[in-house]
Amino acid sequence: MGDIHKAAVLLMSLPEDEAAMLLSKLEPKQVEQVSIEIARTKRVSSDEQDNAIREFSEANPVGGADGGGLDLAKNLVKKALGTDATATLDNIRQSIEALPFGFLRNVDSQNILTYIIDEHPQTIALIISHLPPQFGAEIITGIPPERRLSVVRRMATMGQTNPEIIREVERGLERRMSSVMSQSYQAAGGVEAVAAMLNVSDRSTERQLLESLSSEDPELVEEIRRLMFVFEDIGKFSAKDIQTILKNVDNSQWALALKGASNELKDKILSNMSQRAADMLKEEMGFLGAVKVSAVEAQQQVIVDIVRGLEDSGAIELNAGGEEEQLIQ
């Protein structure tokens, strides 16, 4: 989840008055960005809500948020900005009304699947590319495996789409689903869309798709995987897996890579080392002094590639929730 989406989920989880009070403390541009995200978000899972609330160190007894929508976004902006809300409301309305396939955001993913499952893979890819990643993950899981790969490959290689093609596909869906929404030209799909979708897919679906795709386009798979897992995600592994990673990465590599890491990740790496090794690493980081961002990022990517290799071999397993999993004796 991006920061804007996390903020939107948090505000959607609070009573309107409390949410409006928090919203009023943001800069006008931030109010607009968060409000647009609220308007776009129709559903929020319990896990997504819990993660957002936990990250903001808030407490909320509700088990799941019903969602946002344009009406909620407008109400919050009116309460937060009062007489200054007009311009922001206009921007929100224009942004939402311009979303391609926006009408599908009010439809359950399984219903969408029913309507599009027999379409050509290119058509399915176009539609999914315009939906939130969670929707895309739910839909792609329901597509037969033999067609699933074709859809994902088309998503990954899709660039900008002719607006007339988008309108033609929309008109067909509008007739069958009795929804009407005018749309505009916009870029869709791409490697980022595939990575975002697979990040919220179940692990077996992710593995099956990437393994199948790698036989045809290994470079594309590598690009997707690098977007799915970033250096900071190493902090989501258990202590045991961190120690496995440490055995496969030299201290000199950590010294450079950790120069650009968060304090949380640095602490987690150091806490899983012996005191002597941790002291040596700290000393080596100090000797490095100022380093180029590009050099740090390059070293981080080397370690990410090592970690992904360990994960693929089954030596370690990513816990996306960042929590220790209970074991059964």
pLDDT in tens, 239-267: 999 999 999 999 889 999 998 888 999 99
Span 302-324, average pLDDT: 76
Residue 233 pLDDT more than 80? yes
3-class secondary structure per residue, the chain: CCHHHHHHHHHHHCCHHHHHHHHCCCCHHHHHHHHHHHHHCCCCCHHHHHHHHHHCCCCCCCCCCCCCCHHHHHHHHHHHHHHHCHHHHHHHHHHHHCCCCHHHHHCCHHHHHHHHCCCCHHHHHHHHHCCCHHHHHHHHHHCCHHHHHHHHHHHHCCCECCHHHHHHHHHHHHHHHCCCCCCCCCECCCHHHHHHHHHCCCHHHHHHHHHHHHCCCHHHHHHHHHHHCCHHHHHHCCHHHHHHHHHHCCHHHHHHHHHHCCHHHHHHHHHCCCHHHHHHHHHHHHHHCCCCHHHHHHHHHHHHHHHHHHHHHCCCCCCCCCCCCCCCC
Q: Hey, CA dihedral for 174, 175, 176, 180, is it positive or negative?
A: positive
**Which of 15-24, 141-150, 170-179 is predicted most confidently?**
141-150
Residue 235 pLDDT more than 70? yes
Phi–psi pair at 98, nearest 5 degrees: -90, -5
Binned at pLDDT 50, 70 and 90, residue 29 comes out as confident
Looking at residue 46, what is its pLDDT?
A: 65
Please, what are the domains in the chain? 3-97 (1.10.220), 102-226 (1.10.220.30), 231-313 (1.10.220.30)
Query: pLDDT tens digit string along 79-128?
Result: 555 655 566 655 555 555 556 776 676 677 777 888 888 889 999 999 88
What does the mean pLDDT of the chain come to? Answer: 76
Looking at residue 293, what is its pLDDT?
A: 86
Looking at residue 64, what is its pLDDT?
A: 39
Binned at pLDDT 50, 70 and 90, residue 30 comes out as confident
